[in-house]
A and B are shown apart, each in its own frame.
Chain A
Amino acid sequence: MVKTVVCVGLPIDEKLFIQKNRLAPESVTGKEKRITIVTGTHGDELDGQYVCYQLINKINQNQGKLKGIVDVYPALNPLGIDSVSRGIPMFELDMNRIFPGSRDAAMTENVAADIIEDIMGSDLCVDIHSSNVFLKETLQVRISNENEKKLLPYAKLLNTNLIWIHESVTVLEATLGHSLNSMRVPTLVVEMGVGMRITKEYGDHLVDGIFRLMVELGIWEEESIPIKAPIIATKDEVKVIHAQHAGVFVKEIEHNDWIREGEIIGNIINGLTGEIEEVITAPSDGIVFTLREYPIVYTGSLIARIVGGATK
């Protein structure tokens, strides 16, 4: 059943709606477990659209297997999604920096507070992101090290290629994921693919993973859903490569390739002089789980992340 979570009047003849679809068994006892799937905080990240569609469609076709409640919020930033804008269009504001929101602040923070309030009480939340237009990411779960113990067992069921356990960062405290985790709704933040595109293969894998997780929580009944074991990486195992020169990055490998130390990842070229400004090589063996997609780079632009030590 589609419900409106937030409704705010815009200046001229339009309302901002944030909606969710609640899927529940035919008869409800009130003791059901509840999983929440959210996406679209960043308007340019679209993989979640496909995942929400597949998830709802499969549940609707196998209604008898549903034993708990599934809440799907496909568009937390509807103005952004419908207008190719990563942030909230009017303010260029990153919506994932205003949680948990506030009742004593601007409208956007009120909206954030309404969203949190609506999600509270869920037994688990999956927050789906699609990198940005600059970087292609493998299907992964990102966990802040303070939540490792609580989240890792769930994360392993999501059928991703990687679980990245990173250090906690102060600015990330204002994300939806952090806010929910600190309010005792275990939340798994998924990153995959590239902004403005849908990587169907990753979406299909994640849908299987969400069903596997729902089986574990007693929300879904199914004999066996095969999932693969992810690489689990901590900070020391991830090598980050930034451009040292400005120019145009052209990759020499494919995303997700396994490469050896010293192998060329790509070149930063100069379209005016015909010269190579910088040859970018792998600092260690490993899988290139992040690779630059958008060619224009400045000094500092992220080129690749490699999870070291992993073998093919």
Chain B
Amino acid sequence: MRKETIYSLKAPYRDALRVSGYRFGKGDKAACIVGAIRGNEIQQLYICSQLIKALTELEKKGAIVNNNEILVIPSVNHYSMNIGKRFWALDNTDINRMFPGNMEGETTQRIAAGVFEKVQGYSYGIQFASFYMPGDFVPHVRMMETGYQSASLANLFGLPYVVVRKPTPFDMSTLNYNWQQWKTNAFSIYTNETDVIDEVSARQAVSAVLRFLTRMGIIRYNSHGGYIANIINENDLTLVRNKDAGIYRRIKLPGEEVHRGDILAEIMNPYEGEVISQVIAPTDGIIFFSHKSPLVNENEIVYKIIRRLHE
């Protein structure tokens, strides 16, 4: 394992921002793994730390296959994380909306450019990502439909679901999208949590990456088989909205199987405590996403369901 500073930026008074990279093995650029790009991605940072720990052990045992180099960048924006902010502290810009970056541009464009220069040219790019709206997902691999994506490769992580998303202009400045434009096979891995650490899904994510690296011939590791993934197009998820605003009580959780007519959640009058409406499953299926906050606005998307096809 070799630790290096891959990008640094001075501040007026704060300690410099140092983006650290951990390299394992030597030779062809095999895989690059990126953790927290937003300041609230603590779970993503934690997963990377566990992955670095595991890869350090594997390297000691000689389990990195010859002529393969792996780069892990656990955190890009700990400057925001250290002060409890999500986006770049000065101007509230999102570094994950600045790729491929610009060395001559604004501060966050320069950070993105500095990082992107170092993460380019790898065969596989893996990012532990978070969604911009709050809520919980079933763990999954997400890819953007760019024409370069390969859903069958995503299956090799052994996570239960692979989601393919059609990119909007808003997505085109993410790391994932730009990796693919520069011919790296890019995958984003979503686990249950972001702001807090969830050990179970973190372990699942670390295993998924080790399994993938093993199957691609980059490391030697005894991995369990994992799941055979269902490949889902994001547009095919069934969206479920709540009618009323109020206090939100979640009943069904991501990963649970539901039947048409099941009560997924209840909305209560925030003053009087009475249930004023229920969120009902419109179809049989598996919960893919659920709203988590105890409060909800009117007409939000509170559930996304993977519809079960009846044979």
Which residues in B have their C-beta under 8 angstroms from that of A301? 90, 106-107
Contact A300-B109, Cβ < 8 Å, known A11-B245, A13-B270, A246-B12: yes
Decide yes or no whether A225 CB sits under 8 A from chain B: no
> A106 near B133 (CB under 8 angstroms)?
yes
Contact A134-B91, Cβ < 8 Å, known A9-B245, A9-B298, A11-B247: yes
- How near does chain A come to B239, taking the closest CB pair, in angstroms? 6
Contact A11-B90, Cβ < 8 Å, known A242-B105, A297-B12: no
> A170 near B298 (CB under 8 angstroms)?
no
Choose one: A11, A93, A104; the contact of B270 (CB below 8 Å): A11
> B298 near A299 (CB under 8 angstroms)?
no
Which residues in B have their C-beta under 8 angstroms from that of A106? 133, 300-301
Which residues in B have their C-beta under 8 angstroms from that of A302? 106
> B110 near A171 (CB under 8 angstroms)?
no
> A170 near B105 (CB under 8 angstroms)?
no
A to B contact number (C-beta, < 8 Å): 98
What's the tally of chain B residues with a CB closer than 8 Å to chain A? Answer: 40
Which residues in B have their C-beta under 8 angstroms from that of A97? 170
- How near does chain B come to A138, taking the closest CB pair, in angstroms? 20
What's the tally of chain A residues with a CB closer than 8 Å to chain B? Answer: 39
> B9 near A110 (CB under 8 angstroms)?
no
> A107 near B169 (CB under 8 angstroms)?
no
Decide yes or no whether A8 CB sits under 8 A from chain B: yes
Complex CA gap A105/B301 in Å reads 7
Q: Please encode chain B, from 237 to 250, with 1 for each CB lying within 8 Å of some chain A CB and 0 for all others.
A: 00100001111100
> B12 near A247 (CB under 8 angstroms)?
yes
> B12 near A296 (CB under 8 angstroms)?
yes
> B12 near A93 (CB under 8 angstroms)?
no
Which residues in A have their C-beta under 8 angstroms from that of B10? 245-246, 298-299
Decide yes or no whether A5 CB sits under 8 A from chain B: no
- Interface set, chain B 155-172, CB cutoff 8 A to A: 168-170, 172
- How near does chain B come to A292, taking the closest CB pair, in angstroms? 12
User: Which of A84-92, A229-237, A280-288 lines the interface with chain B?
Assistant: A84-92
Output the nearest chain A residue to B91 by Cβ-Cβ distance.
Answer: A134
Complex CA gap A270/B10 in Å reads 13
> B132 near A91 (CB under 8 angstroms)?
yes
- How near does chain B come to A302, taking the closest CB pair, in angstroms? 6
Choose one: B132, B170, B271; the contact of A13 (CB below 8 Å): B271
Decide yes or no whether B97 CB sits under 8 A from chain A: yes
> B13 near A272 (CB under 8 angstroms)?
yes
> A12 near B270 (CB under 8 angstroms)?
yes
Contact A298-B169, Cβ < 8 Å, known A9-B298, A110-B299: no
Complex CA gap A242/B271 in Å reads 52
Which residues in B have their C-beta under 8 angstroms from that of A132? 91
Decide yes or no whether A32 CB sits under 8 A from chain B: no
Which residues in A have their C-beta under 8 angstroms from that of B248? 11
Complex CA gap A238/B97 in Å reads 25
Instruction: Give the most central of B87, B133, B244, B248: most A CB within 10 Å.
Output: B133
- How near does chain A come to B251, taking the closest CB pair, in angstroms? 18
Decide yes or no whether B223 CB sits under 8 A from chain A: no
Interface residues, chain B, with chain A CB atoms under 8 Å away: 9-13, 86-87, 90-92, 97, 104-110, 132-133, 168-170, 172-173, 239, 244-248, 270-271, 295-301
A-B contact pairs, 14 of them (CB 8 A): A8-B245, A8-B298, A10-B298, A11-B248, A92-B92, A105-B301, A106-B300, A107-B298, A134-B91, A170-B173, A171-B97, A174-B169, A272-B13, A298-B107
